[in-house]
């Protein structure tokens, strides 16, 4: 496992930081970043009873990570009808979305803040039989105190960027000590495997497994809502700008203006990554002269609507089903891009900007198969949308993307098999 003086110091000082953690929680509450009805969960005080029997604990940092687990959780519960699942996240948006989609026998809690007293209180209550982290959020006290209780630990769907690797290079003993507390590490790609080895992770713990997001299935939707919107929009061509960030809405609106020279009835749907930005986006676009509908205000798109701002949670499956062309955001600004398999699984041709480091290998595979096309600015995006408004071109591109997205079942199968084996071993102790 390796000894880290830095980690030892972190854990030793952690009990003295409870006051700081409480002040930070109060600040987050004031900023609306915490749920006032559930803030005690962040102090490790559970708001639900621990169910009897085996409990699998999944920790996911964000909405995307947590949603990628739902199919896997469903399979585990189907295979083991007596188990229960605890899933922890750190954001209000993830909690709101998961509440609508959690399978039976699954409980959501907010993760405790990373101080030893809060973490110990959390673990004392839940006593998980297996602890599974996803992607890259490794809180030191949470990892170390879980390991100290001899709970089997799995790092699933692990991904590390060049930036994170370069930052951790200054503290290799610290990160190496954390990584080697895991019994198994399933990584998304060979680059992550190389990074983790360089940072001290034991080679025989690491397996390149692909991304769970490739096998997470099609996003759900409300069929009644889809049918009604399809009726309202009739034969209007539609394209979607999904998971956009500040700076991208202006670009996609400019691209929409270019594409509307050819397709005068074209409708752009903008689904911002952070829905709370919706009213400000709509205000800015209206000031620029656009006829804008805002979902959170109860607006419905009509024949005059030029841009529809879909500022709601849990409806991406609806927008991808309506749009034959999807621009995936976070890629025209330096965010790193977002998951392209969501539109790929739902028959939408994919456009993206140059900044896709978060999923570069996936975008390369999609491009090689003809399922995704890069753009660089409003002009190239507008031209790409115009080109793909020809139904045959969009259909061919969407089919190629779907074939790539449907090939990722092996990652989920491998994770499922490994977790099953750990459950069986835990059950015999």
**Where in the sequence numbering do the catalytic residues fall?**
65
Q: Nearest 5°: phi and psi at 30?
A: -65, -30
Of the candidates 333, 334, 338, 382, the one whose C-alpha atom is nearest the C-alpha of residue 360 is 338
Q: C-alpha 133: how far from its chain's center? A: 13
Q: How long is the chain?
A: 429
Give the ranges where 138-267 is alpha helix by DSSP (H). 140-148, 162-168, 172-179, 190-198, 223-233, 248-259
Cross-strand bridge partners of residue 110: 89
Q: What are phi and psi of 242, to 5 degrees?
A: -105, 140
Residue 219 makes CB contacts below 8 A (sequence gap 6+) with: 67, 316, 317, 320, 342, 345, 346
Q: Check if the beta carbon of residue 56 is closer than 8 Å to that of residue 128.
A: yes
Question: CA separation (Å) from 54 to 48, 145, 245, 339?
Answer: 16, 20, 41, 32
CA 394 to chain centroid? 26
3-state secondary structure of 330: coil
The stretches of 288-356 forming alpha helices (DSSP H) are 316-322, 341-344
Alpha-carbon Rg of the chain, whole angstroms? 23
- Which residue in 308, 304, 303, 280 sits closest to 292, CA to CA? 308
Strand, coil or helix: 55 = strand
CA distance 77 to 71: 10
């Amino acid at each position: 496992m390796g000894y880290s003086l830095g980690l030892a110091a972190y854990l030793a000082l952690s009990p003295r930081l409870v006051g700081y953690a409480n002040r930070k929680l109060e600040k987050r509450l004031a900023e609306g970043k915490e749920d006032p009805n559930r803030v005690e969960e962040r102090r490790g005080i559970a708001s639900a009873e621990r169910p009897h029997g085996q409990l699998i604990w999944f920790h996911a940092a964000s909405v995307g990570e947590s949603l990628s687990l739902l199919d896997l959780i469903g399979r585990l519960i189907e295979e083991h009808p007596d188990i229960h699942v605890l899933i922890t996240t750190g954001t209000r948006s993830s909690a709101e979305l998961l509440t609508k989609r959690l399978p039976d026998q699954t409980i959501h809690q907010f993760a405790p803040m990373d101080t030893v007293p809060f973490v110990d209180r959390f673990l004392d209550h839940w006593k998980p039989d297996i602890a599974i982290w996803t992607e890259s959020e490794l809180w030191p006290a949470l990892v170390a105190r879980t390991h100290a209780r001899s709970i089997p630990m799995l790092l699933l769907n692990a991904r590390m960027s060049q930036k994170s690797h370069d930052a951790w290079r200054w503290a290799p003993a610290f990160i190496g000590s954390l990584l080697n507390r895991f019994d198994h590490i399933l990584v998304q790609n060979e680059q992550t495997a190389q990074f983790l080895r360089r940072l001290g992770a034991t080679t025989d713990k690491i397996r390149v497994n692909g991304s769970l997001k490739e096998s997470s299935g099609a996003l759900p939707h409300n069929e009644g809502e889809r049918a009604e919107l399809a009726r309202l929009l009739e034969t209007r061509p539609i394209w979607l700008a999904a998971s956009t960030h500040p700076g991208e809405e202006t670009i996609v609106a400019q691209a929409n203006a270019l594409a509307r020279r050819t397709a005068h009835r074209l409708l752009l749907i903008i689904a911002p990554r952070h829905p709370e930005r919706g009213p400000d986006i709509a205000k800015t676009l209206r000031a620029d002269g656009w006829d804008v509908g805002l979902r959170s205000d109860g607006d419905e798109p009509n024949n005059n609507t030029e841009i529809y701002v879909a500022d709601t949670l849990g409806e991406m499956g609806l927008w991808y089903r309506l749009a034959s062309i999807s621009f995936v955001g976070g890629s025209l600004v330096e965010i790193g891009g977002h998951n392209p398999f969501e539109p790929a699984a739902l028959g939408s041709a994919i456009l993206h900007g140059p900044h896709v480091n978060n999923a570069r290998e996936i975008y390369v595979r999609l491009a090689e198969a003809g399922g995704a096309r890069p753009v660089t600015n409003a002009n190239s995006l507008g031209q790409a949308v115009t080109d793909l408004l020809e139904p045959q071109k969009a259909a061919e591109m969407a089919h190629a993307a779907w074939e790539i997205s449907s090939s990722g079942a092996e990652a989920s199968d491998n994770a499922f098999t490994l977790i099953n084996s750990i459950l069986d071993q835990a059950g015999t102790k």
